[in-house]
Chains A and B, each alone.
Chain A
Amino acid sequence: MQDKLISLSEAISSIADGSRVALGGNTLHRGPCAAVHEIVRQSKRGLEIVKTAGAYDVDLLAATGCASAVAAGFIGFETVFGLAPSYRRAVEQGRVQVKEHACYTVIAGLRAAIQGVPFMPVAGLTGSDVPRVTGFHTIADPYTGQEVVVVPALQPDVAILHVQEADREGNGRIIGTHFEDVLMAKAARRVILTAERIVDGAEFEAAPETVAIPGFLVEAVVEAPSGAWPCSCAGYYDYDADYLRAYVEASKDERSLQKFVDERILAGSPVAVGA
C-alpha cells in the first residue's frame, strides 16, 4: 500500500502559482476550506479557480489576491448572506477575471477532460451572452448540420476535495451529496484529498460502492478534522453562520477585511466559534 498521508502545508506547497485549481463542494457546503486557508497562508498567486457554485472559498481567494481568474456558474452566499463582497470588488477593480460559465458548462468542460476529448457539445445556451464573453464556439453537428455550442476541455492542474472519510491510499468516501467532486477527481491532473477522518482502508471493503473517490487517482491525503469549516459537512456539522456573518461584515471594506484575515486566518488554524 502506498501511504499518501502528508501534512496540509506540504500538500498545498506542491501547488505552483498560476495553477488551475478545482475546489469541491457547493456554495456553503463541503468546500475544502482548511486547504483554502492554507493557500492564503502560503500566499499563492495567479490561481484560476474552477467550481460550479462557490461562496466563502472563492471569495476569500479573491480577497487575498490568491485567485486571478474564476471559472464558475455562481459565486455568492445564497440568500443567507447575499453577494460575495470581495469577489465582487476584485472583479469590479479588474483584479479577478471572470470566466463566465453556466454550471453545466463547467461540468461539460470537466467531462471533456475526463474523456480525453478536446471539447464537449452542450445543450441550451441559445440566446445567452455567456458563449460570446467566454469564447465558447458554436459548430454545426457534422451529422445533421444543427448548430450546437461546444465547451473546451477544462482540465484542472489540481483538484482539492474535502471528504468525510479517506484511507491512506486516497480512497475517499463522501457522505451525502457528491456535488462535482467525483468529476473533478477524474478530470484533474492531480488530486489532493482532505478528510474529516482517516480510516483503515479495510473498512471500505464492506461497501466499496459507497467510496466514490478511487485512491489511484489521488496524490495526497491530509487529515483535516473540521476541514470544510465554515462550510457545512454532511453528517458532521452545519455551516458556521456566526463566522460567515462576521466575515461578510468585515468584507465591507478592505481594512477590516485585512484585520479579519490577519487575526482569523494568517495567525494559524482558524477555529470554529465555540469549538
Chain B
Amino acid sequence: MREGSVTDVPSAPVMMAVALARLLRDGETVFHGVASPLPMVAILLAKRLHAPNLVYLNITGSVNPQPEQLPVSTVDPALLRGTRTLVTLADLFDLSARGRLDTVFLSGVQIDGLGRINMSAIGDFHQPKVRLPGGAGSAALMPTARRTILWRTKHDRRTFVEQLDFVTASGNVDRVVTPLCVFARREGWLEVESVHPGVELDALREATGFPITVDERTPRTPPPSPDELTALAEIDPVRVIESEF
C-alpha cells in the first residue's frame, strides 16, 4: 500500500472526512461549530457506518438532524431538518461546562506541538499583521469537553508552528487530522499516529514546524474502504467537504 499507484491515493478531503469519522464512537455526544463542513460530514458518516447512536449537536440547536442538502455554512437552517427538539447555543456550552459533552471539533489557523490553537491574530494581538476571525467557542470548550478533535486542511510550517502568536484556546486535544497525517496527543505532545497514503515522510517532516518522529515503521492511515466511500458519496454527493480546500 505504501508503494500504491497514484490512482490508489485518496483525495485529501475524502481521506480527512473518513479519518475524522473513524475517531467517533457510538453513543457519544458530539458538537461542531461554525465553518465546519468536514466535521459535519464526518459526523453524518460515522452515524451511518459505526456510530448510529452518536448524538449530533450543532449551533442551530438541532439534535441528530438529517439535512436533505448539506449546507456550506454549518449554522444553516438546513441543519434543522429532521430534528425533534431544539436546544440553544447556551445549552450546548453549558453541557460542555458541566462535563457532559464528549467530543468537540475545533480548528486553528496556527496549531502548536501541545495542540493549542490560535484563531485570533497573526503578529502582535493589539497591532496584528492579520486579524483572524476569533476562536468562537474554543477557549471555553477545549478545556471542558472530554476531548477535542482538531482538523486543519492546510499542513505547512505556517500552520503547524513551534510558537503560537496568540493562544486562543488550550485543552483536551485528543487527535489532529490534516491532509498529511493523524496526530495523537500523548503526554501532552502531538505525535504522528499515522501517515496518510501517498504522503512522503520527508514532505511531512518538512511541512511540520515542531519536532516529530516518523520513520518507515510509522503506521499508514488505512485508505478509505469501499463502504466508507459509498456512504460518503451518499451523504455528500456535491462534495461540500471540498469547500474547505
Contact = CB atoms under 8 A, between A and B. Distances in A.
B31 to A, nearest CB: 12
A127 B135 contact: no
A107 B143 contact: no
A192 B8 CA distance: 58
Interface stretch (A71-79, A219-227, A249-257, A258-266): A71-79
A168 interface: no
A28 interface: yes
A211 B224 CA distance: 47
A229 interface: no
Given A52-B89, A105-B140, A126-B143, A79 B35 contact: yes
Contact of A124 (B34, B141, B166): B141
B2 interface: no
B73 interface: yes
A127 B61 contact: no
Interface in A85-143: 87-88, 91-92, 94, 98, 100-105, 107, 111, 122-130, 133
Contact of A102 (B60, B128, B140): B140
A197 to B, nearest CB: 17
A126 B171 contact: yes
Contacts of B37: 79
B134 interface: yes
A73 B243 CA distance: 23
A92 B130 CA distance: 7
B80 A129 contact: no
A127 B188 CA distance: 13
B125 A133 contact: yes
A232 B78 CA distance: 11
A172 to B, nearest CB: 16
Contacts of B88: 178-179, 182
Contact of A122 (B34, B132, B140): B140
A126 B168 CA distance: 10
B80 A234 contact: yes
A127 B90 CA distance: 22
